[in-house]
């Protein structure tokens, strides 16, 4: 498949940095007409002290992992738009051969289920699910429940609803909230577009397997099957079959891995100048994940360890329990 020039080479790279580093806008904002809560210095000190307890920090850790799992679905919806020219009608569409990864719920240990209505904080059945609101052809929104630390004597937490908008992952910049397709997309044939969006989604979501290890567990396994299990992801059976088809046609390339020190990591990103270059990040001394950077001379054939790549795909074997279909989450 001939690759087209991408005018904004790193637009999606910037998107992923924003998604993985900023959570301040995720919570549903309170009604502006309500009165703000009144706190005293002592109460505020007690709250901050509680939030530093191991139990509260673990709850916050789970929430971070759950949000990253939701981001995988958000990115996949955005890349679905790249492939087909519009957002999916439902999240079920992603499991009809488009996505390779499907997240497990951090809270339930089961595949993240698709909700058919807005999640209710008082409904236990909505825990571990995500609701998709399709706003128009180029935008949407995801809603889910998060566990949030609280000073509740019975549980130490409460359930709150979070949300995040789905934006186009590739577009021509506009000054308002409208969407204009990047010209290089309109020059592609439908088949070229479909594979381009599928490949880009694969490249941008596979790193979340490693992000989970750093963000939640401060440890990353050294092979794809252990990483899938520890980071709590499934493989979409239809997406797996499509990936194999794309490899047979020679239209897909991907790679994720680490330097041998298991502290520096990379994934391949399609860029017109290279055209495939590694994007790097690291597990820092304090256990946090660094920002993404390009041009990674420290990764070469002598010191790089690939976890999962297109060139050696036939060497990977996955057990049946790793695969999922849309019928497993209906």
Structural domain includes residue 276:
no
Q: Strand pairing of 304-309 and 157-166?
A: unpaired
> Is 257 within 8 Å of 307 (Cβ atoms)?
yes
How many domains in the chain? 1
Report whether pLDDT(131) > 50: yes
Structural domain includes residue 256:
no
3-state helix, strand, coil in the chain (%, to 5): 35, 25, 40
Structural domain includes residue 318:
no
Structural domain includes residue 2:
no
Percent of the chain with pLDDT over 70: 79
- What pLDDT, on the 0 to 100 scale, is given for residue 22? 36
Work out the average pLDDT over 158-169: 93
Structural domain includes residue 165:
yes
Report whether pLDDT(176) > 90: no
> Is 270 within 8 Å of 199 (Cβ atoms)?
yes
Structural domain includes residue 295:
no
| Among candidate residues 283, 171, 128, the one with its CA nearest the CA of residue 221 | 283
* pLDDT tens-digit readout, 244-276: 999 999 999 999 999 888 889 999 988 766 678
| Among candidate residues 77, 96, 100, 64, the one with its CA nearest the CA of residue 233 | 100
Structural domain includes residue 306:
no
More confident residue, 83 or 153: 83
* pLDDT tens-digit readout, 24-81: 334 433 333 444 445 555 444 554 555 557 777 888 888 889 999 999 999 999 999 9
Tell me, yes or no, if the pTM score tops 0.75. yes
Structural domain includes residue 262:
no
Helical (H) or strand (E) element with 61: helix 54-84
- Segments forming the whole domain that contains residue 45: 11-29+41-251
């Amino acid at each position: 498949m001939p690759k087209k020039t991408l005018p904004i080479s790193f637009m999606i790279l910037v998107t992923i940095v924003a998604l993985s580093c900023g959570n301040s806008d995720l919570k549903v904002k309170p009604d502006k007409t309500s009165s703000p809560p009144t706190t005293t210095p002592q109460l505020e000190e007690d709250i901050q002290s509680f939030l530093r307890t191991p139990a509260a920090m673990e709850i916050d850790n789970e929430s971070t992992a759950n949000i990253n799992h939701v981001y995988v679905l958000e990115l996949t919806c955005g890349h679905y738009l790249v492939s087909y020219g519009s957002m999916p009608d439902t999240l079920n569409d992603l499991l009809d051969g488009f996505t390779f990864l499907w997240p497990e719920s951090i809270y339930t240990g089961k595949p993240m289920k698709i909700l058919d209505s807005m999640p209710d904080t008082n409904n236990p059945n909505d825990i571990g699910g995500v609701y998709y609101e399709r706003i128009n052809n180029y935008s949407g929104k995801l809603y889910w429940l998060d566990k949030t630390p609280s000073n509740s004597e019975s549980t130490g937490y409460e359930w709150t609803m979070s949300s995040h908008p789905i934006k186009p992952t590739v577009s021509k910049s506009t000054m308002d909230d409208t969407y204009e397709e990047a010209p290089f997309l309109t020059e592609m044939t439908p088949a070229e577009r479909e594979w381009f969006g599928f490949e880009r989604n694969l490249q941008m979501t596979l790193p979340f397997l490693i992000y989970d290890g750093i963000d939640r567990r401060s440890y990353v396994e050294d092979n794809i099957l252990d990483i899938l299990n520890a980071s709590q992801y499934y493989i979409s059976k239809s997406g797996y079959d499509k990936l194999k088809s794309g490899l047979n046609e020679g239209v897909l390339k991907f790679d994720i891995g680490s330097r041998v020190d298991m502290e520096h990591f990379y994934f391949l990103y399609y860029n017109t100048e290279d055209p495939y270059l590694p994007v790097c990040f690291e597990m820092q001394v304090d256990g946090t994940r660094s920002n993404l950077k390009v041009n990674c001379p420290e990764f070469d054939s002598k010191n790089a360890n690939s976890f999962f790549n297109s060139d050696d795909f036939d060497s990977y074997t996955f057990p049946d329990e790793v695969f999922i279909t849309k019928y497993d989450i209906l």
